[in-house]
Structure 1
Amino acid sequence: MELRRLGRTGLRVSAVGLGTMTWGRDTDEHEAAEQLKVFLDAGGSLIDTAATYSDGGALDIISSLLRDEVHRDDVVLAARSGVADGRVDASRRALLSSLDETLRRLGTDHLDLWLVQAPDPGTPVAETADTLAHAVGSGKVRYVGLANHAAWQVAQMATLLDGGVGLACTQTEISLLNRSSEHELIAASDALGVGVIGWSPLGRGVLSAKYRHSVPADSRAASPHLRGFVEPYLTASARSVVEAVATAADGLGRAPVEVALAWARDAPGVSSVVVGARTPAQLRGALAATDLDLPDEIRGALDEVTQAIAGG
């Protein structure tokens, strides 16, 4: 798997990262261990997690795997803080408390990448910036970034951190069902030297084409705690995109999930995309796209069919 430089930093991350949103809830420790092996065997390095995943259960599983399955230095460990009990809080107190708890549960003394999970209008941005700089200065964090922030907020933070620790990346949703980052965020990030990590490149699972005819009983859309996450993409316009992806996949002799992942992974300005699979088999299916380079005419056709919902 290709390793890519994250923005203008010296940090290199795998073009596909391993998401852990389901770990500790829908994915048990045994399945997580198998996922990690599949991911590392494919050449992956970036592991993405958050303090909120499974109420910290994902952190506990990662801790166990770092202790028993993989050397800490063989992975790039990224985690997000700034949301607790459904409330956004990017204050110094909340962020540093979350960082300490995250490190404790992970069983490591540092994160390679630490991101603020969401904008907090109740905290001065200078305070959040100072907190990020302090975390790097303390040695607990190597690089810092933002997640789910608008382009102007990324520019503001990058300016505040310029000349010091710097802003390594921004993380945002990117897929054929959500191209809103193309409006301003990717161009701004490129100009600022900030890397872009995309989450949910498979359109929250919808681009796998599993929902073309029904909602499988074991799918996210049938899950009480994930149904609301998937439903925004179970629309007529989304179905037209899924059909286009399926048609392209048929023509290439590949699976729809591979086409969708390859499109997002190689979108202009993208450093990496994070795939969160519930099972090892799902992860293998996605990582089969490692050797897939979409022909220009296929990418062009997919771009055209998705322009109508570019903000979706």
Structure 2
Amino acid sequence: MKPWIDKNVLITGCSGIIGSWLTKKLVEEGANVVGIMRDHVGNKSIIQKDLLNGIYVAYGDIGDFLFVNRVIAEYEIDTVFHLAAQTIVTIANRSPLSTFESNIKGTWTVLEACRLSPTVERVVVASSDKAYGDSDQLPYRENQPLRGKHPYDVSKSCTDLLAQSYYHTYKLPVVISRLANVYGGGDLNFNRIVPGSIKAVLGDRPPVIRSDGSPLREYLYVEDAVAAYLSLAENLHRPDVMGEAFNFAPNRPYSVIEIVEQIIRLTGKDIVPTILGGNSLGGEIFNQYSDSRKARELLDWQPSWDLAKGLVRTLEWYRRWLKVPDTAE
């Protein structure tokens, strides 16, 4: 079966790492994809892959209700993947208002436009494992309260709760994803640990670890994230899925130092990372990892990429993008 042929799909945040990979997959599956972009940034993956020639692009701000409403109406959107957000924790701490405008106002704008649309049948909203906030109860489970404290975490807690509100109050057909840290080719936010470390190591520079290296995280390869989003949308008609939130993670946390050392090892470089030390991450959650049993049992989803395989594929992408020859060849 080809569930996406001729479906009119809107992707907010189509130029982000997940958005660009999801766009590519849906185009391959025969969907009519409409992407919302705020800024045209020439080095974004979606532009480099020439995906823009295969989709409709609407340039605007997701906080502009009239704009979002017009796009959904004119393209007769069936399915919405709401991925657009300001996703960098350090930027959120430095500029909380712009993060709240994008992540919170942008979410209620999209949800309200979907509620008023006669064509929208499915809405998938991107929350995050950060929505849980700091917790002594690890791994996170979906029935835990959302207790974000810092600006980015709070914005995702609000995103999540807004989506739940639109389901419980208006029966909007919505489902919520809470993904672990996603990595893969196309992520140009180099203050994140994976792309930042890869760029440093491929440039023969020591990667910088802001903490003492001990914080625990889970890392989900981008193609597994895309599979998670498609699984949510394709099962959204089910009563045990609609209105629910789902964790998606590999159920294997790694310390920051383990991730950096794995990247160094895969490149074959003789480099020692610079560790700034200390246990304060300046507004970031220290340890975070999730239980994805619900997604496995209800959606039959499980990651196909382990960390080593995903990092090898990711390194290949950055070598091409940075024009760095593979010395192993």
**Do they superpose with TM above 0.5?**
no
TM bucket (normalised to shorter chain) is 0.3 to 0.5
Q: Larger relative CO (CA 8 A, sep 6+): 1 or 2?
A: 1
Q: With the length of structure 1 as denominator, give the TM-score of the two structures.
A: 0.37
